[in-house]
Structures are given as C-alpha cells and as structure tokens.
Amino acid sequence: MHAVIQTHKLAKAVKGRTIVSDVDLTVKQGEIYGLLGPNGAGKTTVMKMLTGLIIPTSGEIMLFGKKLNESAKEGLKRVGSIIEYPIFFEHLTAMENLQLHCEYLGFYDKRAIRQALDLVQLKDIEDKKVKHFSLGMKQRLGIARAAITKPELIVLDEPTNGLDPIGIKDMRDLIRTLNKEYGITFLLSSHILGEIEQVADRIGVIRNGQLVDEVTLSDIRQQRTDYIELVTSNVQRTAFLLEHELHMANIKIVQENKIRIYDEGVSVGQISKLLVSQDIDIEEIQKHTSTLEDYFYHQIQGGDLA
Ligand SMILES: Nc1ncnc2c1ncn2[C@@H]1O[C@H](COP(=O)(O)OP(=O)(O)OP(=O)(O)O)[C@@H](O)[C@H]1O
C-alpha cells in the first residue's frame, strides 16, 4: 500500500541533547496510526517534524512520496494537524475563528467552513463564543480547522487529553467516521494504550525518542496466547494423564512442579476433575491470558502506560 508518511533515521537534538533518534516510521494510506509512548518519549517532537513545525537535525521525511524539507513543503498542503493544544481566539465564535484561519491561509470559502463544522458535528454554536466551549468542543473545532482544506492526512497530538469518558468516545467516533467515510489517514499520539487500541489499526511504540516497534493490532491479537498453569508435586504423572485421558498435545513442563497447558478448548474444571479423580494434588491451577498490556509492557518497561 502507498505510504503517506515514511521517515528514515529521523532525529532531533536540542542544545546537544538527543530527543528523537533513528525513527523509521511508516504511515500507510487509509490507516489510523497510533504513536504510543509515555510522556516525554518524543511523540510531539516527531509530529512537529512531520508537520514542518520544527526542522529535523538529521534523517529524511517522505510525505506522499515526496521529500519534505525547508525548500520543499508542498506535501504539507495535504495535511491538517493539531499539535499540542488547539488555540483559538476565545472571544470569537467558531465561525469567526475559522474565517480568520482561512483568511490567514489565503483560502476563503464560506462553504468549506460550514462543511468542516458539519463534519465534526458542532451544532447550535452560531452565537457562542469559544470561551464558552467545553474542551471536547474545542477539540472538535480544532479538527474542523484542520479539515477545512480537505486534507488527506490529519495529525493529532494527544487528541483525547483532558477529555472525560464521553468526550473520549465522541472523539474516537469522529476520527473513525472521518477515516471510513472520507478516507482520511490519521496519525495520532497517546500515552494511554487502552485509548489507542480502540481506534488505531497500527501502533508505533516510542520510547526514549526511539521507535521500538511497529505492529498491527490484529497481529498482536493473533500472537496472544492463553494457557492454564498448574502447580503439582507430581508433574510427570499429571502430564501423562493430560495426554492420555484428555488427549492434550500442547503441554510444557516449565518447572519441576509446574506445567503449562496451551491446548485450546479445555477448562480448568475438566483438568481439576481428572486430577482429583486420580488422587493428584493440585497446589494451584489458574488460567492466564496475555493481554495487550503485557505485550506493550515489554516494549516500554518502566513507562507509565495506563
Ligand atoms: N525545545 C526543546 N528544548 C529542550 N527540550 C525539549 C524541547 N522539546 C522537547 N524537549 C524534551 O524532549 C523530550 C521529548 O519531548 P516531547 O514533547 O516530544 O515528548 P512527548 O512524548 O510528546 O511527551 P508529552 O506527551 O509529555 O508531550 C522531553 O524530555 C522534552 O522535555
């Protein structure tokens, strides 16, 4: 599939301190890509480089297949973004804010403004000043502003930061709608796995300024393995019984008194019943499910992923 963003060894150092290094990131057309990492990992810095707000110290950015640099910023016309917090003129209405933005861009089209406001479903706000908007409404207005020029890519830095659960769900629905119905590719960032996994197709994990992994959520879900772990003083006989009585083929003795059963379709109850009937002591038996958190915890050890 066509790459909307592709970076090669992207790096940024500020006053001699490296904050982002060696980032090879690919965002494909039509996908929702989530950049996941703890606070301070470098997400904002990467997004600022991708949207031309700061200049990389080294490395390369390809935007829509063309190099992005100081003298070649064409690609940015196809990008809308909210980096950090969306700032508006608080004493003006949504419409007035968007009009000013369009004038600034040299692109004045009242219909486009109306469409953008409709797109984010901001209603009954004709006379309302932005200072009376909730944070969720401001985020929506930010997306409307980013969407005015009908971008093919929207970059959102922590779009759910500070929102309440309903606001978070609304934002997620909005991103999905814009992605599915308008084919807009998204690059989002978050430090909360639970949020990003509900909306992203693919996740890039960033830690200490480096992209440590890039995975699709469906791949991780397939890799997830569930097993039953059993502690007993008689592992040999237990293994024998499981194989011969319950016809299990996927058993592993992991310690002298511990067995893991990876076979599917067998319950803790069935196993307990068999072993009790054979007078085998069970010190412990438990089903383990490796979660997405487990997966990412290994990627971001010591991080504050929620
Ligand atoms: N202009 C700058 N000067 C000095 N340090 C900076 C600058 N910009 C970013 N940093 C530092 O680089 C690191 C990465 O910052 P960045 O804002 O990209 O992280 P982040 O992952 O977006 O985290 P957060 O969600 O907290 O913003 C942080 O330690 C930050 O303090």
Distance between CA 306 and CA 297 in Å, rounded?
10
List residues bridging with 79 in a β-sheet: 153
Whether the CB of 41 sits within 6 Å of ligand 1: yes
Whole-number Å distance, alpha carbon 19 to ligand 1 midpoint, is 7
pLDDT band at 224 (very low <50, low <70, confident <90, very high): low
Q: Which of 173, 172, 162 is nearest to 84 (CA)?
A: 162
Average pLDDT, the chain: 89
Q: Which of 45, 47, 187 to mutate to test the pocket of ligand 1 (most atoms within 8 A of CB)?
A: 45
> Helix, strand, coil proportions of the chain in percent (round to 5)?
35, 30, 35
Ligand 1 proximity of 49 Cβ (cutoff 6 Å): no
**299 or 3, which is more confident:** 3
Domains of the chain: 3-221 (3.40.50.300), 225-289 (3.30.70.100)
CA distance 27 to 174: 20
pLDDT for residue 150 = 84
Atom of ligand 1 at shortest distance to CA of 19?
A: 12
- CA 45 to ligand 1 center in whole angstroms: 6
43 lines ligand 1 (CB under 6 A): yes
Share of the chain above pLDDT 70, in %: 95
CA torsion sign, 193 to 196 to 199 to 202?
Answer: negative
- For residue range 250-265, what is the model confidence (pLDDT) as tens digits? 999 999 999 999 888 8
Is pLDDT of 74 > 90? no
- pLDDT, tens digit, for every residue of 40-70? 999 999 999 999 999 999 999 999 999 998 8
Query: What is the CA(89)–ligand 1 centre distance, in A?
Result: 26
Please state, in angstroms and rounded to a whole number, the distance separating the CA atoms of residues 282 and 275: 8
Which residue(s) pair with 215 in the sheet? 203
Establish whether residue 37 lines the binding site of ligand 1, counting it when its CB lies within 6 angstroms of any ligand atom: yes
Q: What pLDDT is recorded for position 303? A: 46
- Cβ atoms of 288 and 229 closer than 8 Å: yes
Instruction: Determine if ligand 1 sits within 6 Å of the CB of residue 204.
Output: no
Q: Tell me the pTM.
A: 0.78
Question: Above 50 in pLDDT, residue 305?
Answer: no
Q: Whose CA is nearest to atom 12 of ligand 1?
A: 19
* Residue 261 · residue 227 · CB < 8 Å: yes
List pLDDT tens digits, range 192-216. Answer: 888 888 899 999 999 999 999 888 8
Regarding the beta carbon of 205 and ligand 1, being less than 6 Å apart is answered no
